[in-house]
Amino acid sequence: MIEDGRALFLQIAEAIEDQIVDGSLGEESQAPSTNELAAFYRINPATAAKGVNVLVDSGVLYKRRGVGMFVTAGARDRVLSARREAFADRYLEPLLAEARRLGISPSDLSALIRERAGSALPAPSPDHPERTDA
């Protein structure tokens, strides 16, 4: 993190989202302060604040006056939904376009993905029973 060429504030927002997704920052729990983020990542506090504000604007965090920033109820689902949509746009659409150019049918593409995925895909979860290993 903090080196991939994207704006630092976006990387800060993504790092907080990562903590929400993996459960280390639960709903209604207090998010790190901008000063804590600035010290940890060795960045300007204004940059950290900009990253936090991205999450406030998207409804992932909210401010309790005089206390700090907190994770919104439903934030994990909101982040997962946005990331799934971004995943589809960034990876699936180009994959499908190339498969069409190469004449790969949807069923052949599905078989190829299952073959290559092996045990890389997560096991089914109660939240997403449609997921299965290859």
Tens-place pLDDT, residues 62-102: 999 999 999 999 999 999 999 999 999 999 999 999 999 99
Q: DSSP characters for 63-92?
A: EETTTEEEEPTTHHHHHHHHHHHHHIIIII
pTM listed for this prediction: 0.76
| Weakest-pLDDT range from 4-8, 55-59, 123-127 | 123-127
Confidence class of residue 134 from pLDDT cuts 50, 70 and 90? Answer: very low
Distance of alpha carbon 62 from alpha carbon 124, whole angstroms: 32
Domain boundaries, the chain: 8-74, 76-117
Confidence class of residue 128 from pLDDT cuts 50, 70 and 90? Answer: low
Confidence class of residue 49 from pLDDT cuts 50, 70 and 90? Answer: very high
| Weakest-pLDDT range from 24-33, 44-53, 105-114 | 105-114
Distance of CA 62 to the CA centre of its chain: 18
pLDDT computed for residue 31 by the predictor: 97
Q: pLDDT tens, 17-47?
A: 999 999 999 999 999 999 999 999 999 999 9
Hey, what amino acid is at 17?
Answer: E
What CATH topology corresponds to 8-74?
Answer: Arc Repressor Mutant, subunit A (1.10.10)
* Nearest to 15, CA basis, from 39, 41, 35: 41
Higher pLDDT, 3 or 58: 58
